[in-house]
Structure 1
Amino acid sequence: MLDSFPFYLILIFSIVFIMMIAEKIKVAYPILLIIAGLLISFIPGIPTIKINPEFIFLIFLPPLLYEAAWAISWKELWHWRRIILSFAFVVVFLTAMSVALVADYFIPGFGLALGFLLGGIVSPPDAVSAGAILKFVKVPRTISSILEGESLLNDASSLIIFRFSLVAVSTTQFIFSKAVVSFSWMVLGGIAIGLLIGLLFMKLHKYLPTDANMDIVFTLVMPYIIYLTAEEAHCSGVLAVVSAGLYLSYNRYSFLTSTSRVRGYNVWQSLIFVLNGLVFTLIGLSLPAVTDGLEKEGVPLTSAIGYGVLITVVLIVVRILAAYGAVITTLIMRNFITVAQTTNPGMKTPFIIGWTGMRGVVSLAAALSIPEYLNNGNPFPQRNLILFITFVVILLTLILQGLTLPYFIRRMRLMTPEQEAAEQQQYKLLKYEMAEFALEQLKNQYGKALEEQPLLQKIADKWEASKMLTEDTEMTAEGKIIYLNILKQQQKWLIKKNRKNGNLDEGIVRKLQHNLDMEEEKVRHL
């Protein structure tokens, strides 16, 4: 391990350098990282990387899922719940079934059980890749909300399919009644454990004398504790982490101070930056170990590549068809029930949703977790071929869809100037209303202090004229207390306004909340 330490240091430096290049040329960094890892693996003398699946599931997956759950809006997740759940569960199952049928028919030695196993591995799109690509282009909030929500849940559903298929292949039997009970426990138990531990951690944050450093440490260890607890109880660790992250994110302003929120945001951004960089580079570096296993099974490389391309085509086609099918279903069902989408989204939106099907870390980890031997001691059938097909799917979807997605988004002009202007107008209006509320509270509750303290009057003038607070004025202790109290009341007002008004853009609300946190930090250091 110590002998390879310099290599890993150089690797981390290279990852940062590649990410800088990706930012410069406006290409999603997962694409460059996986290609770079692939090229590095062919350099003579480079250590052979053999990834332990438990390493990815335990070290990488919990924090990545927790951060994604923390960042998403519960309000928008609930608003688009029908289409998100359909993509996260129904579409994942249909994708796995389609892969199973194609693999059974075209790939020698594959049956339906192995086909479902492969389908469970490659069915979930990767949220990190889509998010990295969408950073460079503007899309309607509808699309980003659906993609973010789907990515939180499809990992759990695909891993459940994978586990049941793995049992069927290993034991050569599948009992439907037991599968239903096990599935229900994995889903409901995982959610319950996540919410219970999340509630416990929230109480620890809220009632123990913690500071910002302790709060951040709590948030760092919590996803691992939740994941391990759920897995030990034979529940879905993924759903447990996601449910806890959503619950705590929704209540973040009730138990975390502004200092904890601001500092924690920076810590988590750096952590996720490193984890994402490492995992995509490791995917590329793992190719030699995968091809070596393929040679041992005697499968020609050209045939294996062909199978990988075939499965990739199936995944792309099924997802696009599912996207259009979801639109058609919504347009029909709106005549009978209330749906989130009341207008016809046209042909562009479902195509973009269908095209954002890049695969990544979860697929690789699931493939690597296939045991080398069955319960009876025989080698696991087609294990290395499944690994290679998974690698080809990840590589092709990242390069093909990842590189072309920004082009399609720009070409289709999903975000019209009118929509952008409407977002800006909503931001300005909400900011104005919030300042008006704060000014009213300041005058009603602290009228005398407002007359006696010039700086408070300057703050009132700032809210009146939307000007920044001057940096060269000192604030008294009493003035700080008053201003901080008003800022907290603004936070509460904004949360209440957001929860009452379902049409407010959650992204705009979060931006204003972050501005209030930054303003609070600024006042604390005056």
Structure 2
Amino acid sequence: MELLIVVIVAVVVIALAAAVAPKVGIAGPLILLLIGGAVSLLPFVEIGEISPEWILVGVLPPLLYSAAVALPAIEFRRDFGPIAGLSFLLVILSSIVLGLFFVAVIPGIHPAIAVALGAILSPTDAVATSIVKRLGVSRRVVTMLEGESLLNDATALVLLRTMIASVAVATSVTGDADVGVGFIPAFAWGVLVAVVVGAVVGILNLRLRALIKNSAANTAVGFVVPFIAYIPTEELGGSGLVAAVVAGIVTGQGAARWFSPEQRRSDEHNWRTIELMLEGAVFLVMGLELNDIVTQNIENHNGLGTGLAVAAGALGILLAVRAAYVSLLVWLQSRRARGRQRSRLEAMSERIDQIATGEAGPGSTAVPTGPTDAIATASAADDGHAGRRAPRGRRRKRQGVGSDLVDLDTPRGQRRISAMRARVSRALNDLDYYQASPLGWKHGVIIVWAGMRGVVTLAAAQTLPRDDTSDRALLVFIAFAVAAGSLMLQGFTLPWVVRLLRLERPGDDSLDRAEQSALDGDLRDAAVAALTGPALRRRDGSAFPDELVAVVGSRMVDPPDELPTRDLLELRLAMIDAMRGRLNELSSGGGYSTPALRHALAELDADQLSLELRLDDED
């Protein structure tokens, strides 16, 4: 009964903190951290030891899965390189530098344990994303921070596990440890297994839940997906967290094609609630453990001076290494946005059009079979290279016959031309994105200062072995102090830093409305085109009356009220299916942002649910 009361009170506190946070201008997790710390000081409150497995296995997989489902995939793909660098290279670099620091300042610490502690402190927390979103920072910065927080946990935990294993093997067999042995193979295997298992689970999730029509049963299956991805991956020696993230990304991108509108809306609300509760619970527990951790270090280490000094130095090193890495990252991204490739891409597009229309001269009725040949053929007109002689081997390949070239008049040739056009169009859209949202030094400052530590750092610190780790209580306190200090210092000052930098808000409402209006026009055109096509059918497969289609088409898909109600409702549902099909095509081209695409999908889903409800009333 006492546990039930504690859970009820915790849920109420988390909900109230989320409701109050926007009014007081403080992120909800930070409020919960303060509340937990205050409650831990009460003399009648006794907090038992909480196993880190509850967080690593019970909390992080669904939390990361929920964030991955909502990840803006188009923007994530465009900035995957920088995100991967922040998630992998920066974590490893920070861990090594911190390991050297701990070896220098903590007497007797094992080098592998020092690197392990560095891995514990290296991953950033997703709470920064919620703070940055509320501050109106560039969507590109938000996507990079969100992607980093999803992927860097796995890097840190794999490195931590490898270092601890090296200590155990060395002390039990040879008495000496080689810190670097086994990390690269273990890391590569962990990621490979995670990606494969996560992708398979995500695909099976889409297929299975598409067959389950009962909404309650469908929701129940959805809740266990992150654990289904996590458990077998861990058993195979992979990273279960990466598997949960991959399963979430696959599910999020396939939901528009496989799930019903009711499933999509239900998932959105359910996972938002789960994310709020789990994240809030972790930060509340973090605050509740504050008093106990402080007391243990005072008793075992004659005060907190040593732990606080080392934690302050570690936090300073983390910020310095992150600042240096982000500076290089921003410089590289600024070069990428200068648009030097635009003329080449436009020349490619023009050349492809010439090949498709037969205006490219002799040999234009054949197209290359591979992407390399496509680029070579299309780039012949770029930057004055059209008059140059190609290498002999390449000329022979272009002019050859048989397996090297595909006849343009065949379906395969048409598909090849379409694929080439889509590839060039997507590259141009990506370039427009980089130029419209360039990364400057101000954005770099936000990326650096938003790199807070939190949930993973606290949970991972508890996994340090009790028998093989000397001064374990000190190391756990250092991890807690870095996480708490980072959240308090950076979390509370991040709004002030944004105001000081005077960053412009990402676009204005008129630009957002313009993009949405253009997308609505595309979908409307698809609906009008479907009215005259053979694919527009009732749900039972029968055709609509010609007079109904003609009247609706003449009114530009705004049908008159005097038409038969059931026929009209079914026709509108068929048009929504056509618009959703067009929306799925546009989602892969990169011409529209993820928020615009998701908003349009939500509108179509809402319209479909309303129409289906009216159809039920007609029956």
Q: Which residue of 2 aligns with 1:465?
A: none
Q: Which has the larger displacement, 393-402 or 85-94?
A: 393-402
Q: Of residues 334, 352, 355 in structure 1, which corresponds to 2:446?
A: 352
Q: Report whether the alignment pairs 1:308 with 2:311.
A: yes
Taking the TM superposition and a 5 Å limit, the aligned residue runs for 1:159-238 are: 159-172=157-170, 173-174=177-178, 176=180, 178-206=182-210, 208-238=211-241
C-alpha separation in 2, matches of 1:47 and 1:406? 35
Q: Which sits farther off after the overlay, 185-194 or 7-16?
A: 7-16
Which residue in 2 is equivalent to 1:449? Answer: 548
What are the superposed Cα offsets for residues 463-493 of structure 1, whole Å, 9 maximum, x if unpaired?
xxxxxx99xx998333222212211221111
**C-alpha distance in 2, partners of 1:15/1:344?**
37
Query: For residue 137 of structure 1, what is the aligned residue in structure 2?
Result: 135
Asked if the contact 2:202–2:251 (Cα under 8 Å) also holds between the matched residues in 1, the reply is yes
Aligned to 1:294: 297
Verify the 8 A CA contact 2:548 2:563 in the aligned structure 1.
no
Aligned to 2:8: 9
> What letter matches 2:613 in structure 1?
H
- Which residue in the other structure is 1:51 paired with? 50
1:486 matches 2:484: no
The residue aligned with 1:405 is: 494
Structure 2 CA distance for partners of 1:175 and 1:13, relative to 1, 3 Å: closer
Distance 1:415 1:169 in 2: 50
Cα RMSD, aligned residues only? 2.7
Output aligned runs, 1:111-510, within 5 Å: 111-127=110-126, 129-172=127-170, 173-174=177-178, 176=180, 178-206=182-210, 208-331=211-334, 341=434, 345-374=439-468, 380-416=469-505, 421-442=510-531, 448-450=547-549, 460-461=557-558, 476-500=565-589, 502-510=590-598
Aligned-pair CA distance for 1:503? 4.0
1:95/1:475 Cα in 2 relative to 1: closer, same or farther (>3 Å)?
farther
Aligned letter for 2:29? P
Sort the Cα spacing of 1:457 and 1:371 in 2 relative to 1 into closer, same or farther, 3 A. farther
**Structure 2 CA distance for aligned equivalents of residues 461 and 96 of structure 1:** 61
Partners in 1 of 2:202 and 2:337 — Cα distance?
36
| Cα drift, residue 171 of structure 1 | 3.3
Tell me the residue number matched to 2:383. Answer: none
CA distances 1:154-196 after superposition (whole Å, capped 9, x unpaired): 1111111111121233334237564333222111011111112
Residue of structure 2 in register with 1:377 after alignment = none
Structure 1, 474-483 or 11-20: larger mean CA deviation: 474-483
Q: How many residues align?
A: 507
Unaligned runs of 5+ in 1: 375-379, 463-468
Q: What TM-score does the superposition give when structure 2 sets the normalisation length?
A: 0.76
Structure 1 residues 367-410: Cα deviation after superposition (integer angstroms, max 9, x where no partner): 11222223xxxxx2121112111111111111111122122223
Q: Post-superposition shift, 1:330?
A: 3.9
Q: 1:457 to 1:370 in 2, by over 3 A?
A: farther
Contact 1:69-1:245 within 8 A present in 2 as well: yes
Q: Aligned partners of 2:179 and 2:114: how far apart in 1? A: 18
Letter in 1 for 2:609: E
Q: Give the TM-score taking structure 1 as reference length.
A: 0.89
| Residue aligning to 1:76 | 75
Aligned to 1:33: 32
- Maintained 8 Å contact 1:137/1:410: no
Q: Is the partner of 1:525 in helix, strand or coil?
A: helix
Gap regions ≥5 residues in structure 2? 171-176, 342-426, 537-543, 615-619
In the alignment, the residues of structure 1 paired with residue 336 and residue 571 of structure 2 have an alpha-carbon distance, to the nearest angstrom, of 52
Q: Contact (CA 8 Å) 1:121, 1:366: kept in 2 or not?
A: yes
